[in-house]
Amino acid sequence: MSKKLTIGVAAGRKYDNYTKWLQQSPDVEIIKLGYEENNLDKVSSCKGIMLTGGEDVHPKHYGRAGYVEQFRLDDLDERRDEFELKVLAYAHKKRLPLLGICRGLQITNVFLGGTLVPDIMTFGRTDHRKLQEGNDRMHEIWLPENTRLGKIAGANRGEVNSAHHQAIDLLGEGLSMNCVAPDGTLEGAEIRDPDQHPYLMLVQWHPERMPDQQSPFSRKIRESFIDAVKETI
């Protein structure tokens, strides 16, 4: 009988999209994690963690509290920040496979001591937000040589969806960039030394809702994460 692959998924907007995406792989069991659930204790039952999209990370967590007023940041949830930083502390200590998507990338980078660009367009880059009609933008990404993401996807470039206004500025400790948009915006990061953490993959796009679910930047990311979780069983 197959063992269940228990994955903790941080509760957030469009939570069901993430769980449906993960459960395309067999034997996946989801634990919904969040401060509304008041279930930090459930993290110890998880064999992998996925952090999802949603609100901006409060800039006080990376030493830039003044950004709130300066850039009129009003999409914040400090209780979610505090909860997910505790989840990250546990996952990092226990070396659990970790996949961060959009906000998940951002809060993981902050947890590791990195900083964020508070508003991409204000910093002179192109618009990465959704289109006016509500659909995600699409843009190209380029991957440097010898990244884990490149090996997973089997490609050195591709097209991904885009729906964000913040991004990585300074990388957190132990992270390296694994892909970049044409305007120079970092679109992904990964752990530099696998001995430090066996699987820590961060992407700024939304693989769970890519128009082409067979894209290597959707399907293969999910499969690599699931494979990493299997190795913990």
Give the active site residues: 102, 206, 208
Contact at 8 Å (CB) between 199 and 98?
A: yes
Bridge partner residues of 124 (DSSP)? none
Kindly report the backbone phi and psi dihedral angles of residue 111, in degrees, each rounded to the nearest multiple of 5, phi listed first: -55, -35
Beta-carbon count within 10 A of 193 CB:
8
**51/46 Cα distance (integer angstroms):** 13
List of residues 6+ apart from 93 with CB closer than 8 A: none
* Three-state secondary-structure class, residue 123: helix
Contact at 8 Å (CB) between 216 and 155?
A: yes
Six-digit token pair at 170? 């300074």
How wide is the angle at C-alpha 19 spanned by C-alphas 87 and 204, nearest 5°?
65
**51/139 Cα distance (integer angstroms):** 23
DSSP 101: E
Contact at 8 Å (CB) between 159 and 181?
A: no
